Amino acid sequence: MMKRVLITGAAGFLGSHLCDRFVNDGFHVIGMDNLITGRMKNLEHLVKHSNFEFHHHDVSKHIHIPGELDYILHFASPASPIDYLKIPIQTLKVGSLGIHNCLGLARVKKARVLIASTSEVYGDPNVHPQPESYWGNVNPVGPRGVYDEAKRFQEAMTMAYHTFHGVETRIVRIFNTYGPRMRLNDGRVLPAFIGQALRGEDLTVFGDGSQTRSFCYVDDLVEGIVRLLKSDYEQPVNIGNPSEISIAQFAEEIIELTGTEQKVIYKDLPVDDPKQRRPDITLVKKILDWEPKVTRQAGLKITYEYFKSLSKEELYEKEHMNFDKYIVR
């Protein structure tokens, strides 16, 4: 029988690419999203596919899926500072109530669960690069705490269901990922730089630009996730590209890529912004025989072509949605 997979956060950047992969691999895919930050545009090409169905639902509320279920991939969550600072309580709820509901469903259905954790569990790290054994340096009451601690709690809840109830679980710690379907206005550095270049604006660097990031192309990430899901490894696994670059250097790469003549301007560094971010991928190489294949130059070219294809309305869009009606006070 055809295997069935539930993907939460299906209309988001990563969720939609995962839907594509599993449909193409012959699964029946159930995509779920409340569309606070996700976009149906990301799933339009799948809506009429016989092996895809979409459920407009908030995973922080009880989840009902009729029939058998083989896998659950929990990718529902705001993932950018702009989003989770506007909807902090939803961010905490999707990492607590949301994962509780997914794990409860997995227990009933005897399904395997893979959760999307993040490099943000390491906070502003004191260890570089960051291995899975590092416990992190996180400020739980800082502005980023709602996201960081939601993901840390999500990992703890997942392991509790694994050890206490015997649920099959997998945990991926995702480092900076990019590619088509990112939102230009989501606050992350790559779409922010490309959006500014396309609009003829100066590129904004926060701090002195010496802080570093490592960017992984989305196809590489999806391949690693699929391998982890099918593996027997139950502890957290870093997946990302260890090729590290400073933000100042990255701004110059974007200016060269786009052929624009904008300047780079500098503003104050946000509170708790990580100074270094690079995955140690020794473990994933060993257990999954995985490492990134797409170079940053090749991935950026594809991503830039996607952003160039956006309409003028999308290019200048400041708000994806009115968040106020979703905020629980």
Catalytic center residues: 147
Q: How far is CA 52 from CA 19, 43, 66, 190, 226, in A?
A: 8, 10, 14, 30, 18
**Residues 129, 278 contacting (CB under 8 angstroms):** yes
3-state secondary structure of 228: helix
Cα end-to-end distance, the chain, whole Å: 45
Looking up tokens 């600072």, which residue turns up? 85
SS (H, E, C) 67-100: CCCCEEEECCCCCCHHHHHHCHHHHHHHHHHHHH
The candidate with the shortest Cα–Cα distance to 91, out of 40, 15, 143, 55, is 143
CA 279 to chain centre: 15
Strand 236-239 to 169-174 pairing: parallel
Q: In which element (H, E) is residue 176 found?
A: none
CA 220 to chain centre: 13
Detail the DSSP E strand segments found in the chain.
4-8, 28-33, 52-56, 71-74, 112-118, 169-174, 177-178, 203-206, 212-214, 216-217, 236-239, 244-246, 264-267
